[in-house]
Structure 1
């Protein structure tokens, strides 16, 4: 079971994401580091024993800027495998992040222009693609009409274009500690042939174990790490 910490970047700082209301996010307060500086928190994650890092570039997602510099700083340390979501709409928008050393790109239903962008990214840049199915209150959020499909068809189309993993991201549950959406995971696992990751609402190690039993390959975690609900010892015994 992969435990993947999440870093939400806004104006060069790490913020605490809650419920997908990005305009209301505040600077992160964490037990793991003394500041909300991205590199400090990335180092803290590595010391925690974690090997991957999911980064959401919120300024890029909201089309108000980007956080390429802190992402590049973290990447240059070669301590965590980066998975980056920057609200990519087209394949060519990936290039500046790939140049920073990012090897795994998130293409999300919330922003992506079409399924064929997945295979374009893979062919042009040689990176892996995580297909993020963005969900609010049980419904898929999709920018493109071509993606306004039942869950099974969405997954099949992403897989056909070459996505190496699927992420179920419950945006309304992010940072809320309401618990993951177990029902949607069960449905997804019956369709997917690639590894499935889950994000949003994780409360504690009990949630992680239940997701593991269900068949999830990994889970995105933020709040439960920062407030100490999930400890290094918990992960050691997982």
Structure 2
């Protein structure tokens, strides 16, 4: 199995792409720090079921990505566990669909706080852990909106574009320490985020892809597994689009 006995950390694991990643990484033999905003009983039970089914360890962790004090405490706990991290997948994020002239400062700041600033700070802490072992893969979940300039996604797209730029820089800085950093840019994907978009917009987006459908969370998870594994050992600083041929 690709990740047999390796330890990974995935954020935003309660549903959607994050949950699909937990399933796939566990099936591939990885032990997982699985993050959710709140590690409540339902989340803990869900993670325990997946761990039991795949005979791996899953350690639920809970904190709001914008709560930096809670983030630091969690990182300290992970450091004290002394389990080397082979990969981190920064998946947690929020979306906003709003025309440029209708987007408030509050909405803009919220997008950047979760999708960029929190990932930036969290990755700083994770990089310190990886540097100790001179090994690791950082995978940031961006979006095609960060490259394409979609109508109604100026704030969201800008936050993801910042994430793409950050990824390229840290790949250049951390490469000599054996750490790789890449982005995945999903196109329209069948998650709860689709419910925030008008039905016609969703349909138009599907029709603009060569495959004429939305992607599945499992298909994004497969790209993350590839980038986390040694199969991608010479890939860094890249943005891999998983978009069905979006035009």
TM above 0.5, yes or no, is no
- TM score, norm. by length of structure 1: 0.38
> Larger Cα Rg: Structure 1 or Structure 2?
2
Question: Which structure shows the higher helix fraction?
Answer: 2
